[in-house]
């Protein structure tokens, strides 16, 4: 499976949101790595840490150091991230017209759009 940079960031954010919903209080790189790794795909610790740190710079996560270990916590909620993604989609493909995006989504839901 080919991943784009944003796809992996979304995978990590979803893992952190899931762990926070399960009341994990100390989420470190190893916790995130074990949550996302599977038989099909195994991510290196350094890769996970690099992308988590990138998410800190983008102000999606905060990082706290405690006893020589870094812990991560979401700054933006899953809902806020979804709203931001929808707004970005409207800007990129519908000239910022949310109504046009909604019309397109309605057509997709109704099975009207034909994919080429």
Residue 95 lies inside a defined structural domain of this protein: yes
Task: Say yes or no: 53 and 92 in one domain.
Answer: no
Task: Say yes or no: 59 and 105 in one domain.
Answer: no
In this prediction, residue 109 carries a pLDDT of: 84
Give the pLDDT mean for 78-106.
91
In this prediction, residue 34 carries a pLDDT of: 95
pTM: 0.81
**Is residue 106 pLDDT above 60, yes or no?**
yes
Task: Say yes or no: 23 and 69 in one domain.
Answer: yes
In this prediction, residue 114 carries a pLDDT of: 59
Give the 3-state DSSP-derived string for 33-68, with helices as H, strands as E and coil as C: HHHHCCCCCCCCHHHHHHHHHHHHHCCCEEEEEECC
Residue 23 lies inside a defined structural domain of this protein: yes
In this prediction, residue 115 carries a pLDDT of: 58
Give the chain's domain count: 2
Task: Say yes or no: 69 and 84 in one domain.
Answer: no
Report the candidate in 34, 35, 30, 29 with the shortest Cα–Cα distance to residue 15: 35
Q: Which residue range is the domain that position 103 belongs to?
A: 78-110
Interatomic CA distance for residues 99 and 90, integer angstroms: 9
**Is residue 37 pLDDT above 90, yes or no?**
yes
Under 8 Å CB-to-CB from 58, ≥6 apart: which residues? none
Specify the CATH number for the domain of residue 38: 1.10.10.10
Task: Say yes or no: 15 and 65 in one domain.
Answer: yes
Task: Say yes or no: 11 and 50 in one domain.
Answer: yes
Interatomic CA distance for residues 4 and 23, integer angstroms: 29
Task: Say yes or no: 68 and 53 in one domain.
Answer: yes
> Token pair of 30, please?
């190893």
The residue among 111 and 37 whose pLDDT is bigger is 37
């Amino acid at each position: 499976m080919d991943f784009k940079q944003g796809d992996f960031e979304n995978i990590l954010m979803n893992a952190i949101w899931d762990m926070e919903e399960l009341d994990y209080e100390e989420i470190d790189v190893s916790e995130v790595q074990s949550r996302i790794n599977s038989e099909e795909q195994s991510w290196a610790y350094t890769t996970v840490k690099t992308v988590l740190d990138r998410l800190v710079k983008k102000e999606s996560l905060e990082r706290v150091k405690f006893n020589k270990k870094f812990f991560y916590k979401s700054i933006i909620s899953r809902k806020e991230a979804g709203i931001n993604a929808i707004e970005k989609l409207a800007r990129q493909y519908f000239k910022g017209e949310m109504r046009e995006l909604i019309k397109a989504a309605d057509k997709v839901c109704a099975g009207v759009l034909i994919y080429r």
